[in-house]
Each structure stands twice: as structure tokens, then as C-alpha cells.
Amino acid sequence: MQEREQQLVEALADMREDEALALARAMLEGGVDPLRVLELCRAGMEIVGRRFEQGEYFLPELILGGEMLEAIGALAKPLIAQAPGGPAKKRGRVLIGTVHGDLHDIGKNIVTFMLDINGYDVRDLGIDVPAATFIDAVREFQPAVIGLSGFLTLAFDSMRDTVQAIETAGLREGRKIMIGGGQVDEAVRAHTRADAFGGNAMAAVALCRQWIGA
Amino acid sequence: MDEGNAAASERYETRRRRLLDQVALRETDRTPFVFATRFWAAAYAGITYEEQMYDAEKSAAAFEKALRLLEPDGYTPSLYIYGPTLSALDYRLMQWPGHGTDPNATFQYLDREYMAAKDYDEYLFDPTGYCLRHYLPKVAGAFEGLARMPDFASLSEWRFVGAMRAFGRPELRASLLRLLEAGERAEEAAQKSAAFVKRMASLGFPSVGGGFCKAPYDHISDFLRGSKGCMLDLFRNRDKLLEAIDKVSELLMRGVVEETRAGGTPYVFIPLHWGLDGFMSPEHFRTFYWPGLRKVLLRLIEHELIPVVLWEGDCTSRLEQIGDIPRGKAVYWFERTDLVRAKEVLGDTVCLRGNVPTSMLVAGTPDEIDAYCRMLITKVGKGGGFILDGAASVPDEARTENVLAMARSVHKYAN
């Protein structure tokens, strides 16, 4: 990696937003392949994810990381001649969403971010997602893992109903369902009949690794 | 006073005193249990959550039924009967039962950016003017016309008089009429709440409700910048955020002391949202969160009020930092932080409250609840300074037999 490339990765990883954006802009204006710039962004975000896992970074750093990625992406994408051709090294598909009745998305967004930088192909259905929407998406996206998120206690029943609906639709076989958010623990997992629960975003990544490989 | 009344009055005083003694870290005859909830009382009494918010009589009857079942040492009179006020305001900071959410689903705050980062300077220069003319018109329909309010501080002499024509504008007049309506609804709700508290006192149940305050960082995050905006400010607008925290810590105190005293209890509830483990680094917590919150706590304590701080989520990594307040003057209510560990670190400083897991109250069994409460009472209750409660009050979906097992445990186990 060239020195300037290394600088961009480090600026991203160290949360030096202005510097990272200036470097990326200079590289793009100087004719560096936009796909290369995006690759460097990913390298920077991998360090961010690692620092988050190690307890050095917290939610605000992930949010700023996401913002920097988005800003550089917006600069780079119009310069890409052809479509990037899709991510080459995706490790498996994960469908995720906050269950019906719940509008919270912070936890879900962290999980999405962490799964994404760990190489999974994540489709995020957003918040307040009815069971029927999950089912349509499972049919169409064919995920290996389904992640149900919820912060409020009303989400316990929504998760249970969603798991049941997926099962009734004959879509549970061959897939794993994980739940997480707020109060979720083993008691809630048993209540919802999900395959596993996670207390944080790293647990979600670990479950996916275990289920669909690293 | 007849015998029934005399007995109720004695029960009231014993319970009230038991709680105050625990706050002062004194051991009492047994661990007290307090009852707080959003909508569990409605579910238990068989009314909808929407009815609880809109029908004060049904709401009061449901809460009374719950109190008679549980016989707690104290309760938070959170009837949430402000439904008509919220409707009159066309309030947009949250959705509530039947109004954005299902009639039987709890209210939810809408975490959005209500103040742009570029507005910090204006807010810092003139927070009241900013609120009146920019912020409020955004967060509730009834305030929309206030965008036309004169900027009073800018007016002098004849300009002042002439500026009164603002009150002739149809938009402002319409807003003022809607606010009169909201005011009447709020007054009605407050009166009915006060009447309920008085009646429950006559039955022997002391209220532990009272004032309400926030951590300055949370106020800025929840009400102005949104959680994402505020987290980005930690990097992008550090100095402005610090200045706002400083200002807000003064603004938030206005009226709280008087309001709490008028309510007749010393307790000031402070739910915390964005300072927990994982939500910010220890350095950010030390710089942006704890100093502002500590300032609020010290001010309340100075006025002989008792802050009841609900530390949501897991705050284990904060324990060593948050003991820097006067001894025996506050309650720290922990949601998921290990209370046994909290007792080790903070037991000589602050009364602990909590924390029967929400998931257990909803999906567990009475035996599990009983065993958990026994553990808390014997380990955390030992020597005083403990109030038993749910981790984040009694969840709406809790099974009745589980709530009852929690309420009864304080009579079964000695601390």
C-alpha cells in the first residue's frame, strides 16, 4: 500500500474526518481508480470494526465511520465507469429488521454495519417490519440467517409471531434465526423460539460465522 | 379519624419513612418494594393503553386496582393521562397508543434531528427565542404559528408597540387558541393526577413520583439534535456541544425545585438514555456526560431533593466514576448493571434500586422471580440502601403472577 493510501486508511480508522475526506477527494481528482478508494475505505472500516470489538471504539465512532464511508462513496460512485459488479467476497446472506410495533433501530444498525464490514451480504428491512414483509423478503432474498431486532418489551411477542410465521410459511428449514436488542436474553429466546440471541453486535457476527462460515 | 383511616395513615407513614431511611442508607425492618409502570396496570385491569391515556377515571381505577393487589411501599403515579393534551398539541416527538401506534402498544419517542448543527450558535445566544420561533413550531402543530412571534428582546420603544401586530396574524392567533385548549387539557390531567395521589395517600400508598429532570447531554440528544446528530457532535462540534451542555444544565434546573416541592414529595426522576456502556467511550462520558449530570444532581441535593436516576442498559464501566456525589442523598436505579457489583462499588454512597430482569417478568415463572428477588434482598438489601423494583419498572407485558411474586418477596426475605 502506498503512503497516501495508508494515510487514508489511518485517517478513517482514527476518526479524522476532514483529513480522510480531503485525502479521498485528492486521490479521486488525481485519477486514482474509485474502486481502489472504496477498497481503502473498507480497510479503514475493518479497523474501526476491530476497535469496536476490542472495546476501544463505541457507537459514536461507528456512526462517524458510517458517515465518512457514505461521503466518500458519494464522491467515488459517479466516477465508476461500470457498476462495481457486486461485492465479490460476500460470505453469506443475512436478512435483518426491527420487528412489528417497534421503531428502534440503533442496535439493528450496528449489527448491520458490523456484519457488512465482516463480509456478509446484509439486507436491512428497516423498522416496524410486519411478519409478512419478512416472509416476502425471505422468499426473494433467500438469506441463510434472519436477524430480528427489538428494543421494547412488545417486541418479544412480535418476534415470537414472526418466527412462527416464517415457520408456518415453510421457510425456517435450512436457515437460522437470531434475535437481539434491549432486554433480549435466554428467557426471551425461549419465548420467541429463535435459534439464538445476541447481547451485542459482535455476538451477531459470531453467530453468523458459526452458522454460515467465516 | 376512624380506625380504618388511622391504620391507612400509619401504613402511609411507615412506608414513606421506610423509603426515606433506605435512601439515607439506613437499614429498615425489611427491604421496600416500589411500583412503577407504563401500561401494566391497564393490561391488568383490562382497559386499553389508549383508554389509560385518554380516560382519567378508568386510568385511576386501573392503577388503584394494581396498588391494592401489590401493596407496594411506594408507587410512581404515572397515569400518563396526557393523551388529550398531546392530541390538542398535535405533538410530533412521539407516537402514543392509538395515535401512531396500536391502541395497545406503548408510546415511542421519535429519535430525529429537530435542531440542525448549524443552529447551535443561535440556540446558544438565545435559547428561548430559538425554542419559540424555530424549535416548537417543528415539534407540535399547535406551536406552528409561534414562528410569527415577535422577537421581544429585539424590540425597543415604538417598535415594541408596533410589533404587537404579530398577534393580529391569523397563524399566530390560531396557534394561541390551540394552546389555550392544550393548556386546559394539561390542567385537567394535572388536577386529576393530584386528586389520585391524594386518594391513594388516604389508602396508605405514598407516591414516590415528583419532579422530572434530565441529563444535559440526553436533553440535547433527545429533544434537539437526535442521537445521531449528538454523537456526531462529539467529533464535529465538540466545543458547541460542551457549551450547550453547560447552558442546558442551568436551563433544566429552572422550575424543577419549585414543581417538585409543590407535589409534596422530594423525589426527582431522571431517566438516562445515551451515557450507558457502549453508547459512548469512557473519555466522552467523562467529558460530555457525567459533569453535566453531576451538576444537576448536586443542585437538586443542595435543595434537599432526592434524585432518582434510572441508569438504563448496562453501566458497569461507569460505576467507578459516578460515586462522586454526597452520601445517602440519591437513588441510582440500574437496569442491567449487576446490582451486587454496584453495591460493592457504590453501596456506601447511594441507595440502589432495581432490577428484576424485564425478560423474567414477562417470560419467566414466579419461582424464578422469587429466587432472583431473594438474591437481591439478601445481597443488595443487606445493611440498607436498597429498593426492590423491576429492572426498568414493571413491563407492560409482565405476567401478573410474576409481578405479585416480586411484590411479595419483600415480606418473605429478611435483608
Chain A, nearest residue to B361 by Cα:
A187
Q: What mean pLDDT is reported for chain A?
A: 91
For residue B236, give how far its alpha carbon lies from the nearest alpha carbon of chain A (Å): 9
Q: What is the three-state SS of B177-220?
A: HHHHHHHHHHHHHHHHHHHHHHHHHHCCCCECCCEECCCHHHHH
Does residue A110 sit in the same domain as residue A49? no
ipTM score assigned to the predicted complex = 0.91
Are A17 and A56 contained in the same domain? yes
Give a yes or no: residue B170 inside a domain.
no
Between the CA of residue A183 and those of A131, A151, B95, B172, what are the distances in Å? 21, 7, 21, 45
Contact at CB, B360 and A187, closer than 8 angstroms: yes
In a domain, A163, yes or no: yes
SS3 of B176, please? helix
- B221: domain CATH number? 3.20.20.210
Determine the residue among A105, A110, A111, A153 to mutate to test chain B binding: the one whose Cβ has the most chain B Cβ atoms within 10 Å: A153
- Is B279 an 8 Å CB contact of chain A? yes
- The set of residues, in sequence order, having a beta carbon less than 8 Å from that of A115 and lying 6+ positions away, is A94, A96, A122, A204, A205, A208
Number of domains into which chain B is organized: 1
Residue B138 falls within a domain, yes or no? no
A144 in contact with chain B, both atoms CB, cutoff 8 A: no
Q: Do A57 and B281 touch (CB under 8 A)?
A: yes
Q: Give the percent of chain A with pLDDT over 90.
A: 69
Which residues on chain A are in Cβ contact (under 8 Å) with B396? 153-154
The mean pLDDT of B70-79, rounded to a whole number, is 94
3-state DSSP call for residue A56?
Answer: coil
Residues A68 and A110 both lie in one domain:
no
We report the CATH number of the domain holding residue A111 as 3.40.50.280
Give the cell for residue A40: 481503502
Selecting from A101, A106, A156 the residue whose C-beta is nearest the C-beta of B227 gives A106
Q: What is the structure's pLDDT at B268?
A: 97
Give the per-residue pLDDT at A83.
47
Model confidence at B389, pLDDT cuts 50, 70, 90, reads very high
Q: What is the pLDDT of residue B37?
A: 96
Confidence (pLDDT) at A202? 87
User: Do residue A204 and residue A102 come from a single domain?
Assistant: yes
A200 with B101: Cβ contact below 8 A: no
Domain shared by A74 and A109, yes or no: no
Distance of alpha carbon B222 from alpha carbon B32, whole angstroms:
32
Dump pLDDT digits (tens) for B327-379.
999 999 999 999 999 999 999 999 999 999 999 999 999 999 999 999 999 99
- Residue A51 structural domain: 3-79
Kindly list the residues from chain A whose CB atom is less than 8 angstroms away from the CB atom of residue B363: 156, 187-188, 190-191
Name the DSSP class of A185: S
Residue A7's CATH number: 1.10.1240.10
Mean pLDDT over each residue of chain B, to the nearest integer: 96
Neighbours of B129 (CB within 10 A): 17
Alpha helices per DSSP H over B203-324: 216-219, 226-236, 238-251, 256-263, 282-284, 290-302
Q: How far apart are CA A143 and CA B42, in angstroms?
A: 40
Helix (H, G, I), strand (E, B) or coil at B364: coil
Q: What is the pLDDT of residues B297-334, one digit of tens each?
A: 999 999 999 999 999 999 999 999 999 999 999 999 99
Per the domain annotation, does B89 fall within a domain?
Answer: no
The grid cell for B301 is: 441535593
- Name the nearest CA neighbour of B53 among B79, B74, B20: B79
Chain B neighbors of A59, CB-CB under 8 A: 231, 278-280
A28 and A117 in a single domain? The answer is no
Interchain pair A184, B397: CB under 8 A = no
Q: Do B362 and A58 touch (CB under 8 A)?
A: no
On whether any CB of chain A is under 8 Å from the CB of B117, the answer is no
CB-based contact B271:B310 (threshold 8 Å):
yes
Residues of chain A in contact with residue B236, where contact means CB-CB under 8 angstroms, are 17
Confidence of residue A119 (pLDDT cuts 50, 70, 90): confident
**Considering A33, A51, A79, which residue would you say is the last residue of a domain?**
A79
Quote the minimal CA–CA distance from B76 to chain A in Å.
20
Contact across the interface for B397 and A106, Cβ inside 8 Å: no
The runs of H, that is alpha helices, within chain A are 3-13, 17-29, 34-53, 59-76, 106-117, 131-141, 154-168, 186-192, 201-212
Cβ–Cβ below 8 Å for A187 and B234: no
- The CA distance from A187 to the nearest CA of chain B, in Å, is 6
Same domain, A120 and A59: no
Q: How far is A88 from chain B (nearest CA, A)?
A: 31
pLDDT band at A82 (very low <50, low <70, confident <90, very high): low
Same domain, residue pair A65 and A97: no
Is A183 within 8 Å of B231 when comparing Cβ atoms?
A: no
**Nearest Cα to Cα of residue A202 among A98, A54, A66:** A54
Asked if the structure places residue B143 within a domain, the reply is no
CB contact under 8 A, A101 and B231: no
Residue B98 falls within a domain, yes or no? no
Chain A 41-60, residues with CB within 8 Å of chain B CB atoms: 57-60
Do residues A52 and A129 share a domain? no
Note whether residue B20 is domain-resident.
Answer: yes
State yes or no: pLDDT of B147 exceeds 70.
Answer: yes
* pLDDT at residue A107, as a whole number: 86
Shared domain for A118 and A56, answered yes or no, is: no
Residue A9 in any domain: the answer is yes
B316 touches chain A (CB under 8 A): no
pLDDT of residue B4: 78
Residue in chain A nearest B395 by alpha carbon: A153
Residue A145 confidence (pLDDT) above 50: yes
Is A85 inside any structural domain?
no
Pair A149, A70 in one domain: no
- Which of B109, B113, B115 lies closest to B91, judged by CA? B109
pLDDT at B229 over 80: yes
CA B414 to chain centroid, in Å, comes to 30
| Mutation for testing the A interface, residue in B95, B231, B273, B315 having most A CBs under 10 Å | B231
Count up the domains in chain A and report the number: 2
Q: Are B275 and B217 in contact (CB under 8 A)?
A: yes
Contact A102 B108 (CB under 8 A): yes
Convert the pLDDT of each residue in A173-209 to its tens digit: 999 999 999 889 999 999 999 999 998 888 999 999 9
Domain that holds residue B313: 3-82+186-412
Which set of grid coordinates corresponds to residue B178? 390551540
Is the pLDDT at B387 greater than 50? The verdict is yes
* E-state strands within B37-161: 74-75, 94-97, 100-101, 108-109
Residue A88: which pLDDT band, with cuts at 50, 70 and 90? low
Q: Which three cell numbers stand for residue B370?
A: 422469587
pLDDT tens-digit map of B231-289: 999 999 999 999 999 999 999 999 999 999 998 999 999 999 999 998 999 999 999 99
pLDDT in tens, B150-178: 999 999 999 999 999 999 999 999 999 99
Q: Which of A100-114, A173-187, B40-54, B347-361 comes out lowest in average pLDDT?
A: A100-114
Whether A36 and A117 map to the same domain: the answer is no
| Whether the predicted pLDDT of B133 surpasses 60 | yes
User: Is B102 part of the contact surface with chain A (CB cutoff 8 Å)?
Assistant: yes
